[in-house]
Amino acid sequence: MTLYQPFLDYAIALLQERLPLQSYPIPSGFEYKSAIVGKGKQENEVVTTSYGYQSPKLRQIRAAHVQGGSALQVLNFVIFPHLNYDLPFFGADLVTLPGGHLIALDMQPLFRDEREYQAKYSDPILPIFETYRQHLPWGGDFPEEASAFFSPAFLWTRPKENEAVETHVFEAFKAYLQAYLDFVDRAEPVTDPQALAAIKQSQLRYLRYRAEKDPARGMFNRFYGSEWTEEYIHGFLFDLERKLETAASV
């Protein structure tokens, strides 16, 4: 059992319990990928597995799980709503490297600076944030340009011990995901053309930023090469632009 497997198992079970879940197509070559890294006693296999689901209100629910021994464990789990809902994104970046753990949990807002939007989606989860912040102190600086994409309930922490990940981080992950699915339950479709256009632009802005700045790019390049990596990022992890182009050409 790897560090983040319980997170993935929990998320999939909860989604299956609460949503009419269907599989989301994963392009050929991305469901499973492995590479041997290092030499001699340092040699190790790195395996990346991908998971994809969808539901009536959620365009893409996807996970990338990287397992490379005790010094490399990554789970990137993100939910993208359909473009006719004003729901935030659900984002969990759970990373273990030789220097320790990097944990980022949030419901990333479409319209961060709109008070009405914040009241609808950020304020209700602030109590959850406050609960876990006591055990998971702020992780320090992160890029200024990234701050535009996070909510006031952004849980960013660098715990030293595995135990903190297995307890407090796992409980926070469960609480955030449950709260997100409560938002999904209540979400009503948006019909106003102006609002729909704003949602589309906001989603594209977020995806373009994430695809361009994906911190996993260097890691994947080392393991699997740049061609596989770029196609994985643009053709699966952040595929909205590609999907819209395909739809427009039909």
Summarize pLDDT for 196-226 with one digit per residue, the tens.
Answer: 999 999 999 999 998 998 888 989 999 999 9
Per the DSSP assignment, residues forming a β-bridge with 106 are: 91
Q: Residues of the chain whose pLDDT is less than 70?
A: 1, 250
Please give the Cα distance from 106 to 134 (Å, whole number): 16
Per the DSSP assignment, residues forming a β-bridge with 34 are: 47
Q: Can you give the pLDDT at residue 2?
A: 86
Model confidence pTM above 0.75: yes
Give strand ranges (E) for the chain. 22-23, 32-37, 44-55, 58-67, 73-81, 89-97, 100-108, 155-157
Q: Can you give the pLDDT at residue 138?
A: 85
User: Which residue bears the tokens 């290092």?
Assistant: 38
**Which CATH code for domain 5-193?**
3.40.1500.20
Domain residue extents for the chain: 5-193
Alpha-carbon Rg for the chain in angstroms = 18
Q: How many Cα atoms sit within 13 Å of 151 on the Cβ side?
A: 30
What tokens does 115 get?
Answer: 């008070």
Summarize pLDDT for 15-41 with one digit per residue, the tens.
Answer: 999 999 999 999 999 999 998 887 777
Q: Can you give the pLDDT at residue 1?
A: 55
